[in-house]
Structure 1
Amino acid sequence: MDVVARHLAALDRLRTRDLPAGGAGHLTVELETGHGPRPTADDLHALREAIAQHLGARWGEAPPWGQLTLRLRLARGEEIPEPWATLCLRTDELDVWQTGDVWLAVGVADRDETDELRLLATATRTAPP
C-alpha cells in the first residue's frame, strides 16, 4: 500500500471514531513524523497536497485555510475554540472538509524549528471559527 493510500485509510478511521465528549471533542493524530529517514518540510507539504487531492475528489475541492488570521485573533486575546487554536499555532495552513457532523483538517506542523516536522490530521465536531 502506498503512503497516500495508507494515510487516507487512517483518515477514514479517524473520521468515523467516537470523538471524546465534553471539552476535548476532537482527536489529533500524527500521520508522519521525523522518525526514520527525516522528511523535509517540502516532502510533508507534497504529501499533504496529495492527500488533499484525493479528499477533494471525494468531498469537494476547497482552498487551504491560512492560519495567520487566527493567530492574529489569538494575539488580540480573542478566544478561539480547540482544536483550532492549537492547530493555528502549529501550522501555516490546513486543508479542511466537513463530512456529516465531523470536520476533518490536515496540515503540516512546521512552525516550531526546535520540534520535529509532523503531518497532522484532526477530526472534530467544532466548526472552524
Structure 2
Amino acid sequence: MDIAKALALIDLLCAREFPAAYSRTEHGESGPGYHIAALQTSGEFWEGDGTEREETAAQYEADRDGLGERLTERWGPPQCFSLAGVFDRTTEGEDIDEPWARLSGHVPDLQLWSEPASGRWVALGVSQWDKELPFQFLGVVTEIDPP
C-alpha cells in the first residue's frame, strides 16, 4: 500500500462536500454526511484451509496500523471503536445512521480520529464481509457522530 496516496485520499475526502443522496464514487461510495473509500482491495476469493486468508488479514491490519501512525502524528491517538454493538442494534431493528449501520455489517472495529480543522470523523478499518470475499482496507470520513 502506498501511504502517501492513502493520506492524499483521506485529505481529499476531508475537504470534499457530501452528496445529498447515496452514490458510488471513483473511490467507493458516499452519502449524506459520509464518504467511504476503498484504500486497498485484495481482489481474491478465498478457498482452502484459510492460512493465506489469515496472512492477508494480518497484512491489511498492518497497513491500517501504518497509515494510522501517520494520522496519529497529525491528530493524536485514535479511539478504538468496536462496531459489534452497532451491528447487534441494527439486527434488532434499531435505526442507526449511516455510515455506521453499513460498516457494522462487515467491519469489526475502527481506528477513529476527530479531524480538528473540519470537525469531521476519520476512521480506518478492514472489511471482512465473508470468508469467501476479498478484504478491503477502508478509509471513512463523516460528519455523523458514532453511535
TM-score range, shorter chain: 0.7 to 0.9
Aligned residue for 1:44, secondary structure, equals helix
Once residues 88 and 62 of structure 1 are traced to their aligned partners in structure 2, the CA distance between those partners, rounded to angstroms, is 18
Once residues 74 and 128 of structure 2 are traced to their aligned partners in structure 1, the CA distance between those partners, rounded to angstroms, is 27
Once the two structures are superposed, residues 33-71 of structure 1 have per-residue CA deviations (whole angstroms, 9 ceiling, x without a partner) of 0149x9811111000011111111211102321111111
Structure 1 gaps of 5+ residues are none
TM-score, normalising length from structure 2? 0.77
Counterpart of 2:130? 112
Which of these two proteins has the greater Rg computed from alpha carbons? 2
Once residues 21 and 6 of structure 2 are traced to their aligned partners in structure 1, the CA distance between those partners, rounded to angstroms, is 27
Q: What residue identity is the alignment partner of 1:112?
A: D
Aligned residue for 1:31, secondary structure, equals strand
Once residues 119 and 88 of structure 1 are traced to their aligned partners in structure 2, the CA distance between those partners, rounded to angstroms, is 14
Once residues 76 and 93 of structure 2 are traced to their aligned partners in structure 1, the CA distance between those partners, rounded to angstroms, is 33
2:91 aligned with 1:75 = yes
Following superposition, the deviation at residue 126 of structure 1 comes to 1.0
2:50 aligned with 1:34 = no
2:55 aligned with 1:56 = no
Structure 2 gaps of 5+ residues are 23-30, 45-52
Following superposition, the deviation at residue 22 of structure 1 comes to 5.3
User: Does the Cα contact within 8 Å between 2:42 and 2:136 map onto a contact in 1?
Assistant: yes
Once the two structures are superposed, residues 81-115 of structure 1 have per-residue CA deviations (whole angstroms, 9 ceiling, x without a partner) of 00000111111111111222321111100142222
Aligned-residue identity in percent: 31
Counterpart of 2:25? none
User: Does the Cα contact within 8 Å between 1:89 and 1:111 map onto a contact in 2?
Assistant: yes
Which 4+ runs in 1 deviate beyond 2 A? 21-24
**Equivalences, count:** 127
Counterpart of 2:28? none
User: Does the Cα contact within 8 Å between 1:92 and 1:111 map onto a contact in 2?
Assistant: no
User: Does the Cα contact within 8 Å between 2:79 and 2:113 map onto a contact in 1?
Assistant: no
2:122 aligned with 1:122 = no
TM-score, normalising length from structure 1? 0.87
Counterpart of 1:95? 111
